[in-house]
Amino acid sequence: MRFVSTRGKEKVTGAEAIVKGLASDGGLFVPESFPQVTSDEILQMGEMNYAERAAFILGKYLGAELGQDFLLETCTKAYSSFEGSDPVPLVKIDDGFYILELFHGPTCAFKDMALTVLPYLLKRSCEKLGIADDILILTATSGDTGKAALEGFRDVPGTKVSVFYPDEGVAKMQRLQMCVQDGKNVFVAAVAGNFDDCQRAVKNLFADAEFNAQLQERGVRVSSANSINFGRLAPQIAYYFSAYVDLITSGKADMGEQIDFVVPTGNFGDILAGWYAKQMGLPVRKLLCASNRNKVLADFFETGKYNVKREFHRTMSPSMDILVSSNLERLLFEISGRNAKLTAERMKSLQQNGEYSITQEEKAKIDEDFYGGFASEDDTVEAMYDIFEEYGYAMDTHTGVALAVFAEWLDKKDRKDVTQTVVLSTANPYKFPQDVLYALTGNDVKDSFKGIKRLNLLTAMKPPKSLMDLRYRPLRFKKTYPNDLKKMAAAVLDFVDGNIVPVPDEK
């Protein structure tokens, strides 16, 4: 299968799309066409474990080029690191209401679903293309992607991983996870700004000819672990199919019956994967896009105008504290009739004017598939409390946003509408123990590990060992850089040259 840029005529193979990450014109790679999954194939997935299901879906895009046997071996290795027998359990909360838990991987967030797979895809792609250069994984993170990328690529031969995160813009546990990271090929730095500043800098570095020339002199080329990379996005499509298959095999749904998904998202990658699944033939009726107080996506779905000229809010769901949703570009490309010129003009307008608009015809297409809603901090807390009080189910703050939007959606639905709904849960509650504890009890604690202890006493849920161990790990990465592209580029080059060598972990 070939892949094309959302902004031009660049056409590449799957391996090239994965290695490059971002198109040369700044666009995102999308499949030339959407492969189809038949009803019979969906039913056949009922006989597969999750690794087999994921490999099957990935194979629709990459199997001919990378090899179906390789994809199965990759997914089997990747998901063997997850806790429990099922990497993505579908939990029934009530009749017609389910939560898909995507946080059982090594870093306790849904980013593990793709970032445990991506290193294998990248290595195989380099082999296919005959690339001997080292690969620099350059990543911006609002909290979860960074840790998952660091862990996924830790000490992988031929790779280096550089992660920028917003200073004061991530949760304490997320910061700890990144700043104690071990490995000889990793670099982590805070940036004085928000996630959009980090993401903008990373995209600019991808496009910076001088920076790339300096890397080339060192025998290094840049790629991405963010969801701008199709190799990051593709594995996420699989869990939508898996959730549907689980409903069928458990007798809760019939083949062909449409269901809804509720997705908490800031960068639009997670929910876009669901839309891709629908284009491939999954019977999805509606995708509910759940935003927090930074409701740029909710406003876009309501008005057809994307406008980032607004106040930025730090919230208890920091992974969604984003104003520039990069993956929305892929959807814009599709609804415009794959008009690359128009997509490029809209992205230019966003960069220069902070806004763009779509036509009424395009908005009508979006309205068929999406509903956008948002939750205030109070709405989020109330939703988390209500679900715990009624069902005894504790969730993280991002899932709380999704539940609040779901509750709003239920109020608007026809009472005769019994469409089943799956809510995507994107992080383990223990990644945000203080906020979760506050939502469930009203108690406020300053220390994250005291929060874990009290949350454990309240819920009896076992805290992940990987999070508990953070308390006794020394910090390796402590520096904050100014929001300055030249200084960030210099730091990355210093890292590539081996001049930034953190103190080894104490054993």
Distances (CA, A) of 16 to 127, 138, 355, 454: 11, 17, 31, 48
Distances (CA, A) of 157 to 17, 56, 57, 501: 20, 27, 27, 17
**Which two structure tokens, joined as six digits, stand for 439?**
């939502």
In whole angstroms, give the CA distance from residue 353 to residue 155: 42
Contacts of 209 (CB under 8 A, 6+ apart): none
Contacts of 347 (CB under 8 A, 6+ apart): 7, 26, 27, 329, 356
Nearest of 137, 147, 192 to residue 174 by alpha carbon: 147
Cβ-contact 280, 237 below 8 angstroms: yes
Distances (CA, A) of 488 to 23, 138, 147: 21, 11, 19
In whole angstroms, give the CA distance from residue 345 to residue 340: 9
Contacts of 430 (CB under 8 A, 6+ apart): 108, 173, 436, 452, 455, 461, 463, 464, 467
Known active-site residue 453: no
Other beta carbons within 10 Å of 482: 11
Active-site choice (60, 111, 203, 278): 111
* Dihedral sign computed on CA atoms, order 416, 424, 20, 343: positive
In whole angstroms, give the CA distance from residue 232 to residue 265: 15
Task: Measure CA 358 to chain center.
Answer: 25
Nearest of 323, 305, 303 to residue 313 by alpha carbon: 323
In whole angstroms, give the CA distance from residue 152 to residue 229: 15
**Residues catalogued as catalytic:** 111
